[in-house]
Amino acid sequence: MYKEEKMIDSILHYKNSPNDEFKAYTAKELSQRIKYLKSQIYNLETEFEIKLNQLENTKSMNNKQEELAKYIHDENWSGWMGYLFSKCLIGVEEEGQEGCLVIPKWAVDRWKCQMNTKYENLTKEEKAADLKEANRILEIINRRLNETNKIYRKIKSKNQ
């Protein structure tokens, strides 16, 4: 209880020197002091909220990384591998066992050509396929940006 009383005294009174008696603040000085302390409390609360939101954003970012990685593996890479395997011919291993997949010459030629072609030189159809993939990734990123913007607007409106 002693600390609380000291704090209240420090708000309501001041000393000019160690030998002086406590002197009461004027109403204006007290009002200014209270306003200052409220602003300090508000700044601390805002700083705490920003730190808390940063922590939540970090967790959310990790979730978005997981979401992107899931898409890249489950949809992009796995989809491509499924397509590639569907075009392959079943070959025979050296020991005479089935299990090797052979990429047909037409596919090798086509994909090598695409691999060595810059985006701006692709056909309209090839560009459309790449844009479709880019849009899927951008959807995930945009969801993340929208979440961040909501938090930013919330903090900004609180500070006004």
Q: Among residues of the chain, what percentage have pLDDT more than 90?
A: 14
User: Quick one: pLDDT at residue 53?
Assistant: 73
Q: Determine the Cα–Cα distance for residues 36 and 14; give it in Å rounded to an integer.
A: 16
- Spell out the residues 6+ positions from residue 140 whose beta carbon is closer than 8 angstroms to its own: 64, 67, 68, 71
Q: Determine the Cα–Cα distance for residues 101 and 79; give it in Å rounded to an integer.
A: 17
Can you tell me whether residue 7 is helix, strand or coil?
A: helix
Average predicted confidence (pLDDT) for the chain? 77
Mean pLDDT, residues 137-146 taken together: 82
Per-range mean pLDDT, top range of 37-46, 72-81, 115-124, 137-146: 115-124
At residue 118 the predicted structure's pLDDT band, cuts being 50, 70 and 90, is very high
| pLDDT over 80 at 135, yes or no | yes
Q: Determine the Cα–Cα distance for residues 57 and 64; give it in Å rounded to an integer.
A: 10
Pick the more confident residue, 31 or 106. 106
Does this model's pTM top 0.75? My answer is no
Length, in residues, of the chain: 160
At residue 107 the predicted structure's pLDDT band, cuts being 50, 70 and 90, is very high
Give pLDDT tens digits for 23-34.
Answer: 566 677 777 778
| pLDDT over 90 at 96, yes or no | no
